[in-house]
Chains A and B, each alone.
Chain A
C-alpha cells in the first residue's frame, strides 16, 4: 500500500466534509438541517486538527509509565492539537445547544422551520 495517499486521506475527507457542510448551510431549507450543516463543518475542522498532529503508529503523549521506545518525542502523537480539538468540541456543544434552543423558540412563534418563511425581519 502506497503511504502517500493514505497519509493525505484524512485531509481529503476534511475537504469533502467542508463541501458537504457549506452545501447544507447554503441550500437546505430546514433550520435543523442548517444546524446539522454547522455541526458537519465543525467535525471537518476538528478532524483537520487531529489529523495534523497524528504520527503513524505513535504513542499517546503521556510520559508517565510510557514504554521506553516512546520516550523519544518523535514517536509520540503531538498533544497540542488534541487539546485544541477538545476545547473546540466543548465550544461546539454550547453553540449547537444555543442554536437548537433558538430553533425551538422560532418554531413556537412561526409554526415552521422553513428558512424561506422565517422572514419577518427584512428591508
Chain B
C-alpha cells in the first residue's frame, strides 16, 4: 500500500467528493463524511512526508512499475503520466490536507443553517483534490488540469451563498481570472510541447534554453501564476473572493492560492532552472513584486471597515513576504557563496512563511467568520464589546493578530525574522519595506481588536453567546499550532522546511530520476 501513497492521496478525496452528493437527505452526515475523508488525507500526507524524507524523491508512474520503461522502438523519452514528489511537494500537501480538515471541521457548525450542503462538501473535497494534484504532479498538462479543477471548485464555493448577489459577483471575478490564467498556462504548455515534444517537467527542464520561444513560455507561465497567487498588479480578485466565501472554506482557498505560488516557484526553479540561473533579474522581478505586493496590500487594508475584507488585504500583503523571501533566494541562485550565506535562509523564511501564514490567516478569517456568525454583520463600526461574550474567540484573535504582526513568540515572527535578516544582505531597502509593512499590519489589527472586542457592551448583542464547539475546536487547533510553531521553529524548519528549500535548489536531483534520457 505504501508504494501507492501518491495515487491514494488523490484517489481518496476524489472518491469522497463523488460520494458526498449522495447525502442529500442527511446533510450533517455529509459534513461528518468530509471531516473523515480530510482526516484520512492528513494522515496520508504525513506518511508521504516521512517517505520523502526517508527515500528522497518519489516518482510514481501511472500504468507502469518504474518511470524508465520506454517504447519498444527504443525512443527514450518519458511517455507516461507521473507524479514526482519532493520536499516542497510534500510540504504543500501537508498544508493542504491540514487546512482542508480544519475547514471541514469549522464548516460543520458554521454553515449548518444553509441548504445544499452536500454539494458544498463535495466541492470542498474537489478543491482539495485540485490542490493536491497541483503540488504532487510531475507533468505539465496534469498541472493545468488540476489548476482548472481547483479554479472551478474554488469559484463555485466563492459563489456558494447564491442568495447574495455579491457572492456571484466575487465568484465570476475569480472564475474569469482563473480561466484566463489557466488558458495562458495551456498556451505556454503548447509552446513547450511543440518545441520539445514532451510534457514531463523533469524532461523539459533539461532541454530548456534561452531561446525566444522559451522566454515567451516562461513569461506566460510566470505572469499567469503570479496572477493566480494574488501578486500585485492582479490582486483585485483576492479581497472579493476571500470576503464572500464562507469562512470554513477560507483555509482551503488560501492553500489553493499558495498552490499557484508553489507552481510559480516550481516553474522558476525547476522548469526554467537554466534560465533562472543565467538571468539574475528573474529573482529581482520576484523580489520587487513581493515588496510591492506587501506594501500595497497593507496600505489598502488600513482603510477597510469590513473585517473580512481587511484581513483579505492582509493576505495579499503577506503573500509579498513569500515572494520576497524566495525571490531573494532566486536572485543569488547562480552564486553558490551568497546562496549558502543568506539565499538559503531567505528561501527557508519564504517557505516557512507559507505554512505560518496559512495557519494564522485561516485563524483570523475564522474568528471573523465567528463574529459574522453571532452578529450577522461584518462592518467593524457596528460591532463592539464582544470580548466578554466570546472569550475563546477573543483569545484566538489575539494569537492570530500577534502572529501576523510578527511579534515573538508566535510563528509569524519566526519566518519574518529569517526574511528580514536575509533580504537585508541583498539590499537593505527590501528589509526596510518588510519591517514597515509589519508595523502597519500591527496598527490595523489593533484597530480591529479595539472596535470589535473592546469598548462598552452594546445592547443589541445582549444575547450573544460563544460560537458552537466544532468552530471553537477548529480555531483552538490553529491557535495552538501558531504558538507551537513559534516556540519551536527549529523543529519545523529542520523537519519540513529545509527539505523543501533543498528540493527547490537541487534541480539536478529532480531531473535525474531513473537516469532516463
The interface of chain A, by Cβ under 8 A from chain B, is 25, 31, 34, 38, 41-42, 45, 48-49, 52, 80-81, 84, 87-88, 91, 94-95, 98-99, 102-103, 105-106, 108-110, 118, 120-121, 123
Contacts and interface: CB of A to CB of B under 8 A. Distances in A.
Given A31-B172, A106-B168, A121 B155 contact: no
A106 B165 contact: yes
Nearest to B171: A102
Contacts of A31: 172
Main secondary structure of the interface of B (DSSP, over half): helix
Contact of A38 (B151, B152, B171, B179): B179
A87 B145 contact: yes
B175 A102 contact: yes
B28 interface: no
Interface stretch (B43-51, B186-194, B424-432): B186-194
B179 A99 contact: yes
B180 A48 contact: no
Interface string B174-209: 011001100100110110011000010000000000
Contacts of B165: 105-106, 108-110, 120
A55 to B, nearest CB: 13
Contacts of B194: 52
Contacts of A42: 179, 183
B156 interface: yes
A62 to B, nearest CB: 17
Given A87-B145, A118-B169, A105 B187 contact: no
B145 A102 contact: no
Interface in B100-152: 141, 144-145, 148, 151-152
Contacts of B169: 106, 110, 118, 120-121
B214 interface: no
A95 B152 contact: yes
B61 to A, nearest CB: 17
Interface residues on B, range: 35 or more
Contact of B176 (A52, A99, A118): A99
B190 A48 contact: yes
A91 B175 contact: no
Nearest to A91: B148
B122 to A, nearest CB: 14
Contacts of B172: 31, 99, 102-103, 106
Contacts of A123: 303-304, 309
A109 B148 contact: no
Interface string B13-46: 0000000000000000000000000000000000
Contacts of A106: 165, 168-169, 172
Contacts of B381: none
Contacts of B171: 102
Contact of A91 (B145, B176, B187): B145
B170 interface: yes
B183 A102 contact: no
Given A106-B169, A110-B165, A45 B186 contact: yes
A103 B169 CA distance: 8
Nearest to B173: A121
Interface in B287-340: 303-304, 309
B82 to A, nearest CB: 15
Contacts of B183: 38, 41-42, 45
Given A98-B152, A123-B304, A45 B166 contact: no
Contacts of A48: 187, 190
B384 to A, nearest CB: 21
5 contacts: A41-B180, A49-B186, A84-B189, A95-B152, A95-B175
B181 to A, nearest CB: 11
Interface in B375-431: none
B190 A52 contact: yes
B159 interface: yes
